[in-house]
Structure 1
């Protein structure tokens, strides 16, 4: 329950930041072009608001309905063409009095600011921590795959040579490259094999709850943590012990250990362990096949795997922050494209606020918080580009039509399209929320 609360608070704070930044983009561009902003609200405030204060010509506040936010700009709704030149209906502080290009910039300000936020966050993280990558050539023992990875044809110990005929320099990029690719070339015990990646195969990967973890470097079976009062703890197993044998079955890698232990549920086994260069024997009862330890992952094995750490200057962090933002956007476009391919079943990964909350860690972590906020920010900017009335992209679409035809669209058309767009978005949101709830019971 505590972890759920922490995740929810992180999501709430992240969404609040994204809304304020988005609306700030509209607000500042309106101010630059001397357009009056009547209201600036975080969350919606039908009937009443939680907090509000008027400063100058603008009322700032917080609403009670956390489904978005808004700025109310004077003269946003155009009048009919017959009245557009009327002095009373074309005041110079109103939105509709400005040129098409200025109105387009005001509307796109929110999208621009969300993109800028992503770049700033990614750049700051790169400047602070640099970038740590595992070169593919250093994955010396091949890969370890889960059941979903095996369904697309991969096996433990495979060495990935190429994806779509190209060598992937860093292992971190291989899962994404597989999702985007059509073929994988592997070395399986000296035999070169080409695996095709059809939509039917990718379906197995999209059925996962975590898309990026179906493949990882194969690693030795070294203990990272012994659970207190477990059978392993009682038997004297310690951190950094490397398990070499189970009942005389030789163990090289962690996947082999997991497979071997599963055969001895509720039985006592004899383990051969290497501890500081010494070979020792331990007997452990495997209650339900569970040893009572957590093994190290490849990130804990910097003495075995040679990682590359790259530090960035301020300028380098900014340019790489832009690249990171673009990479995240490309991944989101790819995912959205696959959502509409029924064979991939990528639609199973679609979620509402409930799914987003699960992405945040159960314990507060500012680094992960800011990374996810940057990811959500670029996602918000991308969604707002869609030419759906009531979204920024819808208003931008109408202004672009006006710029091409040299005629303003009538008020009645704008009102009807905006209303239809609002209904569409509301329906989609309801469907996604219902789907998210159903996944708890059926997926």
Structure 2
């Protein structure tokens, strides 16, 4: 229960930051052009609000429904009959949204999107400046890859060395899984033979048709013990951290995936395990239970920096800015590529669509500021992109109307805009409800 609470708090805080920054963009641009903002609310407040206070012309508050937030800009929508009568008599006050030029109205609406973009870039810039980046160059993955069952289904095998994805060399191993996810082909070196694997939509469905989009490949590593589980057979027979497993019975073992295979092969049997301990050969006879469980955790490639040479990049403050912009752009490109696959039904990428529940699962069960800010930056650039969609009630819908006005040099009837906005709100609400229902159903269907 505590992990659920921690994830929920992180999600709520992240959304609150995104909403406040987005609405602040509208607010600041409105103030800049001397347009009054009547209300500035975090979360929605139908019927009542948790907190509110009027300062100047603006009521600031916190609503009780944590599904977003809003600013109410004077003269942006016709709220009542008085507004319609004022508009019909062409009595428009100079502090109203409708009194401003098209370019000023465009900038006020675009302000929310702009601030979300700036927030994403700012966070990525700060993270790069503070922590830098650590990469594993593809050329340093000396033993090839280890694949899970999903990797096998798309044609990869343990020991394959990935040469190209989509005909292009991928310099860093960290980027290969996503390149495969959105690519069309993989070229591998398989025991000296160059093989090209196609990635059609029928193969991609194996990658998308799962509960989590985790990595399906990782660098192949030797079987070195990282941790011995207490009260296990391994502890009972004296295995230690940093022991390297060399053989089981007469079967030599070079890599972790081979160890997993032989442990499965010798279930319910006594095995003779040979290990290298600080250059000394030691042998132990151990009984494996019905699950083939030895009782150790093995080192992964991140623990073996003496074998895998990582590249650490540090950035000065000014260097981190362009790299922060690039990071935000790369994240957005990945999201757009994923969205493109959603519309290819055969890939089953639609199964990865989720609501707040799915987003909450992305946050760690233990508080981690690095991950929190990385996810917040990712959500911020994604929110900016979604708001560009030309759907009435989203910022993109208002922008579309203003651009039509700028092109035709004629104002669109405000009653038409209001009606379209209501329809757009209904459509967006139905889409959101459908995603929430789908997110809940996935728990039972998959």
Q: TM-score with structure 2 length normalisation? A: 0.96
What residue number does 1:237 align with? 239
Instruction: Quote how far apart the aligned CAs of 1:211 are.
Output: 2.9
What residue number does 1:54 align with? 54
After superposition, the Cα gap between the structure-2 partners of 1:403 and 1:84, relative to the gap in structure 1 and judged at 3 Å, is farther
What residue number does 1:249 align with? 251
Is this contact kept in 1: 2:226–2:299, CA < 8 A? yes
After superposition, the Cα gap between the structure-2 partners of 1:82 and 1:6, relative to the gap in structure 1 and judged at 3 Å, is closer
Stretches of 4+ aligned residues off by more than 4 angstroms: 78-87
Is this contact kept in 1: 2:78–2:418, CA < 8 A? no
Task: Give the aligned CA root-mean-square deviation in angstroms.
Answer: 1.6
Is this contact kept in 2: 1:81–1:410, CA < 8 A? no
> What are the equivalent positions in structure 2 for 1:70-109 lying under 5 Å apart?
70-77=70-77, 86=89, 88=91, 90-109=92-111
What residue number does 1:155 align with? 157
1:218 aligns with 2:220: yes
Is this contact kept in 2: 1:158–1:189, CA < 8 A? yes
After superposition, the Cα gap between the structure-2 partners of 1:266 and 1:357, relative to the gap in structure 1 and judged at 3 Å, is farther
Is this contact kept in 2: 1:175–1:212, CA < 8 A? no
Query: Partner of 2:17: helix, strand, or coil?
Result: helix
Which of 323, 332, 335 in structure 1 is aligned with 2:338?
335
Instruction: Quote how far apart the aligned CAs of 1:286 are.
Output: 2.5
Cα offsets for 1:40-98 (capped at 9, x unmatched): 1000001110011111111111000011100011001269999758552x111111101
> What are the equivalent positions in structure 2 for 1:35-184 lying under 5 Å apart?
35-77=35-77, 86=89, 88=91, 90-184=92-186
What residue number does 2:24 align with? 24
Instruction: Quote how far apart the aligned CAs of 1:225 are.
Output: 1.5
After superposition, the Cα gap between the structure-2 partners of 1:409 and 1:87, relative to the gap in structure 1 and judged at 3 Å, is closer
> What are the equivalent positions in structure 2 for 1:289-368 lying under 5 Å apart?
289-368=292-371
After superposition, the Cα gap between the structure-2 partners of 1:81 and 1:9, relative to the gap in structure 1 and judged at 3 Å, is closer
Unpaired runs of at least 5, structure 2: none
Query: Partner of 1:3: helix, strand, or coil?
Result: helix
1:392 aligns with 2:395: yes
Instruction: Quote how far apart the aligned CAs of 1:126 are.
Output: 0.5
Instruction: Quote how far apart the aligned CAs of 1:125 are.
Output: 0.6
Is this contact kept in 2: 1:10–1:369, CA < 8 A? yes
Is this contact kept in 1: 2:50–2:64, CA < 8 A? yes
Is this contact kept in 2: 1:384–1:392, CA < 8 A? yes
> What are the equivalent positions in structure 2 for 1:262-301 lying under 5 Å apart?
262-287=264-289, 288-301=291-304
Instruction: Please identify, of 31-40 and 229-238, the stretch whose mean Cα deviation from structure 2 is larger.
Output: 229-238
**Equivalent-residue separation in structure 1 for 2:36 and 2:419 (angstroms):** 25
Which of 396, 407, 412 in structure 1 is aligned with 2:410?
407
Is this contact kept in 1: 2:182–2:338, CA < 8 A? no
After superposition, the Cα gap between the structure-2 partners of 1:171 and 1:237, relative to the gap in structure 1 and judged at 3 Å, is same
Is this contact kept in 1: 2:137–2:171, CA < 8 A? yes
Query: Partner of 1:323: helix, strand, or coil?
Result: helix
Is this contact kept in 2: 1:78–1:410, CA < 8 A? no
**Equivalent-residue separation in structure 1 for 2:272 and 2:2 (angstroms):** 39
Instruction: Please identify, of 346-355 and 176-185, the stretch whose mean Cα deviation from structure 2 is larger.
Output: 176-185
Query: Partner of 1:154: helix, strand, or coil?
Result: coil
Instruction: Please identify, of 33-42 and 221-230, the stretch whose mean Cα deviation from structure 2 is larger.
Output: 221-230
Instruction: Please identify, of 410-419 and 166-175, the stretch whose mean Cα deviation from structure 2 is larger.
Output: 410-419
Instruction: Quote how far apart the aligned CAs of 1:411 are.
Output: 2.3
Is this contact kept in 1: 2:245–2:274, CA < 8 A? yes
Is this contact kept in 2: 1:135–1:170, CA < 8 A? yes
Is this contact kept in 2: 1:185–1:195, CA < 8 A? yes
**Equivalent-residue separation in structure 1 for 2:21 and 2:85 (angstroms):** 37
**Equivalent-residue separation in structure 2 for 1:351 and 1:337 (angstroms):** 16
**Equivalent-residue separation in structure 1 for 2:88 and 2:407 (angstroms):** 20
Unpaired runs of at least 5, structure 1: none
Is this contact kept in 2: 1:221–1:257, CA < 8 A? yes
**Equivalent-residue separation in structure 1 for 2:15 and 2:227 (angstroms):** 36
Q: TM-score with structure 1 length normalisation? A: 0.97
What residue number does 2:11 align with? 11
